[in-house]
Structure 1
Amino acid sequence: MTLKLLSRIAAMAMALVLAACASTGSQPDDMAIRQGVIEQINPTQIQSNVHTGVGAVLGGLTGLGIGSLIGGGTGRDVAMVVGAIGGTIGGAEVARRYDRPLEGQEIFVRTNSGVLVQVTQPTTPGLRVGQRVFIQGKGDAARVVPQ
């Protein structure tokens, strides 16, 4: 494989990784603010959003790039393969270290309209049962904040 071909493959892989990481998210005009009273709070753990696959791909591409700078001919090809494999293993391990669950709260809020809403979010000190709160946002982006 030539360096030019490997560069193109690396660029395509990077574009795919970045496209996979993109999220549509909520637009500011979609945000809803509701009011209510906390009825129940349960401690829970929230899984982190770190993806070991992204670390492995980025590590592999980095190793491939560094390996391409070493030697020439067959030696360069071997260095690129070893660099890609080593980078993949190293990148996955680094990403795995950050894959720890977060302490969180499962909060049940009775809104002013009478609907019971459940929100899971990182622990927010100061929230208590019976407290008046706002529910900001919706879906995974919803958060309970003191009123």
Structure 2
Amino acid sequence: MSAIAKVVVATLVSVFLLAGCAAPGTPPGAMAIRQATIEQITPVQLQSSHHSGIGAVVGGAVGLGVGSLIGGGTGRDVAMILGTVGGAVAGNEVQKRYDQPVAGQQVIVRTASGVLVSVSQPVNPNLRVGQRVYIEGNGEGARVIPQ
């Protein structure tokens, strides 16, 4: 057997051996779904999902655009600056209306393996203590839904 053939065979054997050692799990991008039973439901306040500062940025951009339509020369430059600042302030004030906390619930469930899991999510009136549920997703994206 030639040296190249020996290297190829050794590489293939190594690949198959290492592939057998790979840990099974949820592939990236796949959603994990687990079964559980609700132990406790507690009302909580959830932070708004709006990104802070977006209102000021959008308002400033709109103000800049409007300011650029006014006048010419130095007057136009001043109008653009005032439009940007005024738009940013106005956009920030508008966003504050949407940054109020929303009603939610902390759901504590026990999985089939006995592990307790806590999930905070918007209120789902279809959930009750003792109910069999699914836990969809993981981390901050996890949600408890009825079976």
TM superposition score category, shorter chain reference: 0.7 to 0.9
Q: Does 1:116 align with 2:120?
A: no
Structure 2 counterpart SS, 1:30: coil
Match of 2:49 in 1: 49
User: Is the CA contact 1:33–1:137 (under 8 Å) kept in the aligned structure 2?
Assistant: yes
Give distance in 1, aligned partners of 2:72 and 2:29. Answer: 56
Structure 2 counterpart SS, 1:38: strand
Give distance in 1, aligned partners of 2:30 and 2:138. Answer: 8
Give distance in 2, aligned partners of 1:142 and 1:133. Answer: 13
- Greater Cα shift, 132-141 or 49-58: 49-58
Which amino acid in structure 1 is aligned with residue 41 of structure 2?
Answer: I
User: Alpha carbon RMSD of aligned pairs, Å?
Assistant: 1.4
Structure 1 counterpart SS, 2:66: helix
- Unpaired runs of 5+ residues, structure 1, are 1-26
C-alpha deviations, 1:28-79, integer Å up to 9, x for none?
A: 8431000010001100010102234111011111101110111001110111
Match of 1:79 in 2: 79
User: Is the CA contact 1:51–1:95 (under 8 Å) kept in the aligned structure 2?
Assistant: no
Match of 2:18 in 1: none
Match of 2:31 in 1: 31
Q: Provide the TM-score with structure 1 as the length reference.
A: 0.79
Aligned length: 121
How far apart are residue 141 of structure 1 and its match?
0.8
Match of 2:9 in 1: none
Match of 1:102 in 2: 102
Give distance in 1, aligned partners of 2:29 and 2:88. Answer: 41
Q: 1:131 to 1:28 in 2, by over 3 A?
A: farther
In our comparison, the structure showing a higher alpha carbon Rg is 2
The percent identity for this pair of structures is 64
Give distance in 1, aligned partners of 2:93 and 2:28. Answer: 36
C-alpha deviations, 1:121-144, integer Å up to 9, x for none?
A: 000002111000000111111110
Give distance in 1, aligned partners of 2:88 and 2:29. Answer: 41
Q: 1:57 to 1:29 in 2, by over 3 A?
A: closer
Match of 2:88 in 1: 88
Which amino acid in structure 1 is aligned with residue 33 of structure 2?
Answer: I
Q: 4+ residue stretches of structure 1 with deviation over 6 A?
A: none
Which amino acid in structure 2 is aligned with residue 119 of structure 1?
Answer: V
Q: Provide the TM-score with structure 2 as the length reference.
A: 0.79
Match of 1:16 in 2: none
Which amino acid in structure 2 is aligned with residue 146 of structure 1?
Answer: P
